[in-house]
Amino acid sequence: MQKVWLYLENGDFFEANSFGADTTCVGKLVFNTSFTAYQESITDPSSYGLFISFNTPEIGNVGINKDDFESNQVHASGVIVRSYNDAYSNFRAEDSLANLLKSNNKIGICDIDTRYLTKLIKKHGNINMIASTTISSKDELAKKLKEEQNKKQETDIIDMISTKEPYVHKSSAWNPIAFAYEPAIMSNKKIVVIDFGVKKATLNELVSCGLEVEVVPASFDVELIIQRFEQGEIGGVVLSNGPELLDGLDSKINGVKKLISKEIPMFAIGLGHQIVALSYGVAVETLGSVQHIGSHPIKVDNKVEISSQAHTKSVSKEIEEFANISHISLFDSSVEGLRYKDKPIISVQYIPEAHDTKHIFKEFASMVKESN
């Protein structure tokens, strides 16, 4: 291992060890409480530009395998762990986490007090940071952090990580027996997924409930989608998850407004959920606490479900003018899910592929079937 130096925008400066690429990376520091699925987290396009500090102290012991990737690359800027294990042991493992980070030119940081970092994030919210194996000067790191932040503001990140061409996704969930959909809701209807940073797991679940899935770029042709719906070629639209970047979304919001006006069944997740609210003129607020949590209780109608979370913003409760709040956080009472009053739209803030919450895909499939 070699040395790595970290500078946080609050002025904190650390020296640790590196098990990833020999490089310099900039991003936003978040923590993750999940015990497993580290490779899913870092390959999720929603993790673009994040340094993920894992609360689980031992990371790397199960290695990595391509079947569990959420995309074809690492989108996180880096991984921070208390203790890294390079000697992995898992019958599905194909390589080490370190080699994955190196091949993607991303930093891996270990031998650092992740408990301190978690407390810092919980107190101040997400913090911008820079990590480097080549720059050891605090002042130089501070200067480079500021320069790189200005560059990122000029980049349309969502269009950058989105697919460039439409494609059809045919793979279903890795273990569909764990969540069998009744034949009654198998619509065999094509839907369009607008890729703001979609995860493979989302596409798998849509296929598993009998939908034909076509993925289109974030710079979607709204008139073509409307035409295809009116001609009966597609039965619904999914607005995918993506990085929580609310600047520069005007064209996406305007496109979604047009889709909403045509009564197209719609399911929106994460960033997509926020874009629908913005289309109604409702604000998206920054939460007082960071939600990158593996087991987060939410109230759904009259029962409690355990969800996975990866967000720092929430739709304002002013949305009640247009939608019923169907899902609500039991930690901070923030909005976690909506059913719109005047349109066939459902949306969720959390990660819906978890076992306890994936029934929302069934609800959307039923909406698509009823639109036939």
| Domains of the chain, CATH where assigned | 2-155 (3.50.30.20), 159-370 (3.40.50.880)
List pLDDT tens digits, range 137-196: 999 999 999 988 777 665 688 999 999 999 999 988 755 444 444 444 455 689 999 999
CA–CA separation, 279 vs 263, rounded Å? 14
Which residue in this structure is represented by tokens 């607008």? 194
Residue listed under structure tokens 């993790």:
47
Rounded distance, CA 82 to CA 17, Å?
10
Burial class (CB in 10 A: 0-12, 13-18, 19+), 160: exposed
Q: What is the pLDDT of residue 148?
A: 85
Residue pair 58/140 in contact by the 8 Å Cβ criterion:
no
Q: What is the pLDDT of residue 347?
A: 97
DSSP 182: P
pTM (two decimals): 0.91
What three-state secondary structure class fits 346? strand
| pLDDT value of residue 246 | 82
Amino acid at 221: D
Tell me 347's DSSP state. Answer: E
Determine contact, residues 236/191, Cβ cutoff 8 Å: yes
The answer to whether 35 touches 56, Cβ cutoff 8 Å, is yes
The values of phi and psi at residue 159, to 5°, are: -65, -30
CA-based R_g, the chain, Å: 21
Task: List, for residues 88-118, the tens digit of each pLDDT value.
Answer: 999 999 999 999 999 999 999 999 999 999 9
Task: With a cut of 50, list the residues of the chain below it in pLDDT.
Answer: 176-185
pLDDT attached to residue 1:
83
Burial class (CB in 10 A: 0-12, 13-18, 19+), 327: buried
Of residues 18, 58, 62, the one with CA closest to residue 40: 62
Q: Rounded to an integer, what distance in angstroms lies between the CA atom of residue 159 and that of residue 343?
A: 27
pLDDT at 178: 40
Q: Tell me what pLDDT residue 153 has.
A: 61
pLDDT at position 356 is 76
Residue from 93, 97, 57 nearest 78 by CA: 97
Residue 290's pLDDT is 62
* Integer Cα distance of 120 and 249 in angstroms: 30
Classified as helix, coil or strand, 67 is: helix
pLDDT given at position 34: 83
User: What is the CA angle 208-213-215, rounded to 5?
Assistant: 135
Query: What are residue 139's phi and psi, to 5 degrees?
Result: -65, -40
Q: Which of 162, 172, 212 is nearest to 192 (CA)?
A: 212
User: Between helices 222-230 and 250-261, what is the axis angle to 10°?
Assistant: 20
Neighbours of 267 (CB within 10 A): 29
> What is the model's pLDDT at position 172?
86
Give the Cα separation of 133 and 76 in Å (integer).
17
pLDDT value for 345: 98
pLDDT of residue 102: 97
Q: What is the pLDDT of the chain when averaged over all its residues?
A: 90
